[in-house]
Structure 1
Amino acid sequence: MNNSTTRRGFFKTTAASLMASGIAGRYQSQGKSTMEVKVQRLNLTHTWTISRNSSDFKDNVFVRLTRDGITGWGEAAPNVRYGESAQETVSKLEAARSAIESANWLHYTDLKARIDELITDESCAKAALDIAVLDWVGKKFNQPLFRIFGLDPARTPVTTFSIGIDTPDVVRQKVKEAAAFPVLKIKVGLKNDQEMLETVRSVTDKPLRVDANEGWKTKEEALEKIRWLEGLGVELIEQPLPSAMLEETRWLRERVNMPILADEAVKTTRDIPALSSAFDGINVKLMKSGGPQEALTMIKMARALGMKIMLGCMIESSVAIAAAAQISPLVDYADLDGNLLISNDPFKGSTVEKGKIVLPSGPGLGVEPVA
């Protein structure tokens, strides 16, 4: 399968449908264009600890595209796991500025291919541009993205609320703060795994999903812990072993009943075929894939291989969360809570009601800056 051709065909068909509906003539303006790039610190409500690090804030990069009086917003969430930084992300965006400002944003599929040429590695900078362009296109058409993609907003899933590794007292507090969410995701991968799960179970009997973030280093350790988790009624486990340990993960999958999902092991469509014999599903994230367009291609590939799909996130504002939410009707599981873990979200419009993702009715992403 030619992934680029598949993605282009899907989106060209969608765009053609919009144009054929009689609106083409209204959307041909190519006025002066600007691209602004800004780093903004997002403060975490609680110290965020997973198996490999802890942090109290994240420096994310925001993109603002403006043309014809319409603004499209995008966001990049650099992740140290992939060697990314805010400064490096800004540099990549600035290098692409001229090409982006001069491009026809309505031809967003072709522009995505051009972005892939401008930014050759798998960088979250791609996601920022793809999100911003799609937000602008949605606003230009005066349609929410889910409608442009032909998706049913009633089919959005419930999102988990993530509980980072912490002391028992703080874990209990986090669980109480997540009272409105029917399913929790518990971070593990350190020596206190048993304490984490026992603490959570002492205050709630909600369904749990567990994410080890590559924290278990041998297949034997992973086997022992997954069998223990099965006894606690945990629904699934994400990335129990380091991403390079594919054969060990395949061995593990043959010996447990719990679904195993790939996270760090999968970034883009080309990673998926090799994972299908070792994992039951994948965690698709816009920051890994390069944006919604590639994420949709990943979903199509995973479905063809009979895999389950989770739509996840990094620590992100409502911009990137809303972008992911727009395609959430296509997935089995969602973990779109990054904006709920910060105390200074600079945007508003991304909504969850009793744990269920509610797609905004406004055009594009449906979010706007906080005044």
Structure 2
Amino acid sequence: MKWNIRPIELELKFDWKISRNTSTKKTNYVIEVEEGDFKAKGEVAPNIRYGEDGEKILQEFTQFLKEKPQKFDSIEELTKFLKSLDISYSLKFGIEAAFVDYISQISDLTKYRLLGTNSVTQIKTSFSIPIMETEKLADFINEYKLERFDELKIKIDKSSVEAVQVILGNYPGKLRLDANEAFENADEVLAFLAQIDCERISFLEQPLKADNHDEALSLKEKSPVMIFADESLTHHEVSQYYAERFHGVNIKLMKAGSYFQALKQMRRAKELGLKTMIGCMVESSLGISQTFPICQGADYLDLDGCLLIKNDPFNLVTEEKGRLFFSHLH
């Protein structure tokens, strides 16, 4: 069994500006596992917010190659081994995804069967708008024909009140706001929300820094819209801590590091009465397609990562009227 890693350079359709940085391209990595006539793949989408970058991913993959056994006999064996490694969670998922793909190929069993989840052939996603000059927003919505999406996700910072108002005036659906930790305290968030039509806001994602525990408690109690955790929830267990501070959680495979951990997070969130969203990083259609097996039962899906890039090397997913399909089925 041969393992390999290679970079893929993803060019973005537009400047991807969020509250903490701006990108025009993204370097992800493809994990390949090969044996005989079988060749399987998984995607790694490192995120600097979690201390991940390309150099670290490559170093950690070398560590994986040195420490792994000669062969893994089951998905469970691989997953147990990955838990013992101190490597980036996006890399853990890329390795696991490639191996699940491999086992699916050699066993002729679907990934849904292997993971014990319900089959999904299409999903409804939101589409994300980055932070940009307010005067460009109406043209952006028209250029990309965004009315075909039931909901839009808007990247915001403290100064985005006018931008949200412009989008509400040029788009008929509901908005999901994503602050990426832009606000300092609950009062700042509440003052922002007081200036917009909250009836058309589905939720506000991660307005406060992940370590701002006390302010998150206060905000949940007073907020006129649901507050979702993103950066606050990585690979950890979903506990009462989250139920006390948030109305919902954004679960991502690249943060959870494993299909099984992400599914466990979703089950526990539901037990605690939290809403659930399956999200993504900027990923090719390889990474997005490998998210389909955990989508059933989520309250919201935000899987537009491959729609933001203009040179998808895999073309595994097709979008039509705001829905994603496997390209070979469409």
In structure 2, which of residues 141, 155, 164 is the aligned counterpart of residue 187 of structure 1? 155
Q: For 1:257 and 1:55, locate their aligned partners in 2 and report how far apart those are by CA, in whole Å.
A: 32
- Output the CA distance in 2 between the equivalents of 1:97 and 1:336: 31
Which one of the candidate residues 17, 34, 39 is aligned to 2:7?
Answer: 39
String of CA shifts for 1:112-139, please: whole Å, max 9, x gaps: 1101212x25531111101111111122
Instruction: Please tell me the root mean square deviation across aligned C-alpha atoms, in Å.
Output: 2.1
CA, structure 1 residues 352+293, in 2 after alignment: closer, same or farther (shift >3 Å)? farther
Per-residue Cα deviation, 1:47-88 (whole angstroms, up to 9, x for no partner) = 000000001011111111111311111111111111110111
Say yes or no: does 1:231 pair with 2:202.
Answer: no
2:54 is the counterpart of 1:86: yes
| 2:288 counterpart (318, 321, 337) | 321
Q: Does 1:161 align with 2:127?
A: yes
Residue 55 (structure 1) aligns with: 23
Distance in 1 between residues matched to 2:118 and 2:217, nearest whole Å: 35
Aligned to 1:13: none
Partner of 2:261: 294
CA contact (8 A) 2:243 2:274 kept: yes
> What runs of 5+ residues in structure 1 fail to find an aligned partner?
1-32, 363-371
Aligned counterpart, 1:256: 223
Alignment of 1:141-156 (within 5 A): 141-153=107-119
How many correspondences in the alignment?
328
Give the equivalent residue in structure 2 for 1:276.
243
Give me the whole-angstrom Cα distance separating, in 1, the residues matched to 2:70 and 2:128.
Answer: 41
What TM-score comes out, normalization by structure 1 length?
Answer: 0.83
Compared with structure 1, are the counterparts of its residues 291 and 164 closer, same or farther at alpha carbon in structure 2 (3 Å cutoff)? same
- Alpha carbons of 1:65 and 1:100: their partners in 2 closer, same or farther (altered >3 Å)? farther
Between the aligned partners of 2:136 and 2:291, the Cα distance in structure 1 is: 29
**Alignment partners' CA distance in 2, 1:350 and 1:111:** 27
CA contact 2:40–2:99 (8 Å) conserved in 1? yes
Q: CA deviation at 1:156?
A: 5.7
Aligned counterpart, 2:64: 96
Provide the C-alpha distance between the structure 2 equivalents of 1:89 and 1:308, rounded to a whole number of angstroms: 32
Q: Deviations over 1:139-179 (max 9, x none)?
A: 22223322433444458652110000011343223322123
Q: Is 1:215 aligned to residue 182 of structure 2? A: yes
Q: State the match for 1:354 in structure 2.
A: 321
Q: Which of 88, 95, 99 is 1:133 aligned to? A: 99
Whole-Å separation in 2 of the counterparts to 1:337 and 1:198: 23
Change (3 A) 1:123 1:258: same
One-letter amino acid of the counterpart of residue 2, structure 2: T
Q: For the residues of structure 2 that align with 1:101 and 1:353, how far apart are their CA atoms?
A: 43
How far off is 1:268 after superposition?
A: 1.8
Query: Does structure 2 retain, via aligned residues, the 8 Å contact 1:160–1:335?
Result: yes
- What CA distance in whole angstroms lies between the structure 2 residues aligned with 1:207 and 1:227? 17
User: Residue in 2 aligned with 1:123?
Assistant: 89
